[in-house]
Every structure is written in structure tokens, then in C-alpha cells.
Structure 1
Amino acid sequence: MIRISIDAMGGDHGPKTTLAGLARVAERRPDVRFLIYGREDEVKPVLVSLPKLEAVAQFHHCDISVQMDAKPSQALRQGRWKSSMWKAIEAVKTGEADVCVSAGNTGALMAMSKFCLRTMASVERPAIAAIWPTVRGESVVLDVGATIGADAHQLIDFAILGSAMARALFDIERPSVGLLNVGVEEIKGQEEVKEAGRILREIDLKSMDYRGFVEGDDLGKGTVDVVVTEGFAGNIALKTAEGTARQIAQYLREAMSSSFMSKMGYLFAKGAFALLREKMDVRKANGGVFLGLNGIVVKSHGGTDDEGFAAAVELGYDMAKGNLKDRIEAELKLFHGRLRPLHADDEQAAAGK
């Protein structure tokens, strides 16, 4: 059984949407069980109306819910120990749940997750990893908003975290990894990116296939399985891609209804447009995984509908099923074991000078 703890109060639409999403997951994943946290007066009536979900769920009342506009420090101070968000995260810490999912305030969720679960021993900062649709299938992109600015070793940590996630999600033995840069040439880019690339080339980890630098257009091409960047650039790229998908969908709707002939053409190509709509559906790629913590936390978009929330929950399910946390810990240990000889060589070279 995969046990998933849910902050039912998170998101723009509250328990009605989150529980409807859980009901979809319960139908598709018979080996899942839910621990649902929220206000009884809002959650219970919805839960009772979904008997199949109620049969595989355990409800826990919480007096406090974290507001979507609350500052992380305020949410941590007021909601720690008592809020539905904290309780859902704490269930992962105590081992009651394998993964936590919330559509709540991103800053508050990250702050509480770091405080409750702590980062892994060798990880300085966690990252948010997103699933990115590509012409080849899907890629992992991180960080998409947790860490603004990152040094070389943090970027390397992200590469290790992302490759472990790709292996757990895509069942790839040695995922290809690229560092997002302004060009593919080794002389281009910020010093932190170039230094991270140098170390990844020299250390040659067997758990990943480092391909060097990739550019922005490689995101959609699916040039590599894992794209690594810092949170500022990653978040802008993510929001730009989502906005572009909606923009193109709007253009298509307007074009198909612009004239009688356009409408007739749409009827003949209805199947193709349905396939295109499915591929461009941002709900399918909903959910960002917090990586580098002592537990798995998934953040769903706050404004998504029940199908989008179900996608985020199923992403968490796949991460737990793929034993993501243990994979990450093993690879970080291997990396730092390989890194020590390189540090020794650099120190000897510096002493020789």
C-alpha cells in the first residue's frame, strides 16, 4: 500500500476540488490509502458524498488552515503543530505516510517542509522538480522556484536529485542530464554553471549521463532527461511554457470558430485536435516535487481542477512507488565519495603552485 497524506484545505477551491481529485486516484490506483487533514465542517460533507474515497481514507480534523496569501514566516509561526498543512507533512516524518501532497501556499509549504523534515545531510538547499512535456515524452526540470541563485555544488546536487527522480519515474537506468545555459559552448555562461559542468564531467558518475550545456529550446525538444538550473530561471521558464500552451490553445479555439469553413474543417480533424488538446493540457504535468528533504512532498498548483490535483497525487504515488528518497540518499553518498579524491587533487595542485 502507498499511503498519501493530503492537506485538503490547500488551493484556491478547497476540499471540494482536492477530494474530487482523490476520488479519481482511488479509482485508478487500488493500492493507495489517504490520510486527509482539514476542517471537519468543510471536509466531512464532501468526503461522505464520495463513498469509494471514504472507504480508503482516514480523516483528521485540524483547526487551522494556511491562507494562500500568508507569508511563509507567518504561516510557520501560526500554523506549526496545528494546521492541516503541517499535519500532512508531519505524517511523512513519523512514517504514517509515504508522501505528502498539498495545493496550498508554496512558500509556506516549503518553509514547513524544511522545518519539519529537514534537508538531507549533504544537501544545502532543496529544489522543486517539475515534469516537463516534450516532443520525445517527458523530462524532469529543476529547480523551478525553491532556490533563487545557486552555486556550482548546489547545481550538482540538483543534477543528482533530478537524475534519481528520472530513474524512479521513467525507469531509465542512466538518465541524460544537461545544465541550462545561454549556449552549449563551454566558455559561455555564469562561472557557477561552468564550474558545475567541469566537476560533472570530471567525476563521471555512473548514475547519470552528463551531456553538457543545453539551451532554452532544448526544454521542449526533450534533448535530455533532466534539465538543471537555478530557481529564478527555472520558474520563469515554467510559467512561460504554461502561458504559451494556454495562448496557443486560445488561438486554435478562435481560428476554428472564425468561419463556416473553419468549423467544417474542425469536424473533419476533430480527432487530431483532441490529441493536440491532450498533449497541451497543463493539468497533466501538474505537481512539483520537493527534492533534497528527508521525505517526499508534492506541491500542486493552487488553481488547478480535480483532474490536475489527481495528477499531482499520482506523481507523488509514483515517487513513493519508485523509492525515490532511498535512491537519492544512495547517489549523494556515491557522489561525495567520488568528490573527495577530486578535492584532494585540487589541494595538491594548489600546494604545488
Structure 2
Amino acid sequence: MTAIPPGNTLGILGSGQLGRMIAVAAAQLGYRVHIYAPESGPACDVAAAFTCAAYDDEAALTEFAKDCAAVTYEFENIDPAAVDSVAAHAPVRPGRASLETAAHRWREKQLAEECGGRPAPWRAVSSRAELDAALAEIGTPAILKTATEGYDGKGQIRLASPADAEAAWAAMDGRDCVLEGFVDFTHEFSILLVRGTDGASIAYPPPHNEHEGGILARSTVPAPAAVVEQARDAAALAMAIAQRLDHVGLLTCEFFATADGPVFNEMAPRVHNSGHWTIEGAETSQFENHVRAVLGLPLGAVGLTGTSAEMRNLIGDDVHAWAELLAEPGAHLHLYGKNDARPGRKMGHVTRVRR
């Protein structure tokens, strides 16, 4: 393992709040951060440099990469060609395989199955005829999801019966999709696994995740017993996926806890909203451990700093309670610097750690 020493520059593709928190963690370890994105965002407020250019601007990507000792990304909806352009001049971690797999639901579900995992019943759908065939096999209720670019409940439609197929397919506008059968689950949870350049890996205690309107509302640790009992098998799957992809950095895999064991939902090759509690709640945050892994540094411990931790997202108008949260003893407030508090938009989060 060759470590990149402090004083060098870490590049980040993407300018959102995840990039912002990665940049803060890198700066605390003594690294400069250079953001590359088509538009300014929360990450730019805390970075040493910002390149505003498109992801298909090869000349700009090259100049950006030449300024960086290593590069990472904060979201998976980036053209892999952009990663290739950067990788010609600086190591990109995680690599292209992780990006391509997580960016397409067909590929991530196939990989989970190949690694011994069990996703929800699913079928690839690229036409109305395939949707009808999938519904005949899986049945209803079911969820039709876009194969790419879906997040926070976007890009998915619930089908209560086959009669909903026509409207659902029209709404997808001919895009590749996946039809998923419903899963009878008791809890949702995630495995946050970090893997270094030397192949060493470690998983955080699994958070119990609660969603509202398809958006994560709260993550808590320790998770209920039903989750803890299934976390070992889930973590083993996450580790197998990371090894198959030769993943370096944070890898998040989301699961349903069911009577028959963990059911794989989806993966993200990056730091994740369900891991925000780690900033105050873990010995080493997910952001710092991602930076450590990407730069070839030793991984940090992931134990809890207290007996429990809870992270709540501030969504839309929730952010207007910022003054009350600042006055609340034990509340750790994180605002992302966004001005437009639209419904469904993540404006920040608050973490409470019980000692």
C-alpha cells in the first residue's frame, strides 16, 4: 500500500453535499480538494479549487486530473468515459467497474446474485411486451423502476394490478426498467463497508433506516435485533461484491430484513446518506474512511462513540428549525448551504449521540 501524503490534492467529481463532506474530511487530514462539476454546488464552498466544466469535456478533465494525486466521485450517474479520461492521469477510486455496476439496476442485481445474494424477485424490462411478461411472472403488487438515475423515490411507479401497466410504461418514456416484486420485510438497513487499496476492509455497525415518501428520514444505531441477526450475512455479501469489483473506498449496500434472511435492494459505490451518523457517532466517519481508502492510508476504527446514535434528515422546510436545533443540547447540526428548500430536497441533517 503506497500512501499519498498530506499536502497533495484529492479530486472529487461532483459538487453536492456528499462531496462537501468528503472535502471537509480530506481537509482535516491535511489535503487540498479540487472539485470538478458542470455547476457549482455545496462542495465548492469548502474546496481549494473548482473546475466548472461538462463531464464530456476531455480537455478540462485532463487538466483537472493533472492537478490531483487521486480522484473519487460523490455519485454514480457519471459517464464512465469521464472516468477513463481522468484515470489516464490520476488514479480514480472506486474504479470504473464499481461505477458501471451501481449505475444500472440490472447489473447490480446480477452481481449480487453471482456473489450469492438474494435480491427481490425482478425482471429486466425494455418494452411494453416485456413488462407484461414480467408482470405475469412476478405478479402484483410490484414496482417498476428506471434502470438508471433513480434515487430518493424518483423514477419508480407502483403497480397495484396489471391494469396499471399501460400508464406506468408510458410514464417511463421507453427507458430501460426493472420490475421488482414486493418484499415482506420488517426493517430496512444498510451495510457501510470501506475497503482499502491493500484489500483490507471493515464494516460499520448496520444502521436501521426509515423512509418517508421514498426518502430516507432517519438512521439509527444500534439497529434492532432483527437487523443485527442478519447483518453478518449482509456484510459478507457486501465484502464479496467489493472484492469482485476490486472496489476501493466506501461501498454501501441496502437490504431488507425478512423472515428468510437479508434481501439485497441496491448498492452505491460511495459514501451514503445512511452513514451520516458516523460523523459524530463513530470513531472514524464514513467520509474520513473513504478519504483514507482512496489515498492509500490505514483505515480508521468504526466503533460507536456512545451507546447509540440517530441521524435525521432535514428535508424541505425542516431546515427552518435550524436555530432550535443549534440551541438543543447534544444535537449536531449539518447544513449543506442550499438556498432553495424545495419539498423532498435534502437541506441538511442532525445527529444525536447518546453517551
Verify same fold: TM over 0.5.
Answer: no
More strand by share: 2
TM-score (normalised: structure 2): 0.25
TM norm structure 1: 0.25
Higher helix share: 1
* Larger-Rg structure: 1
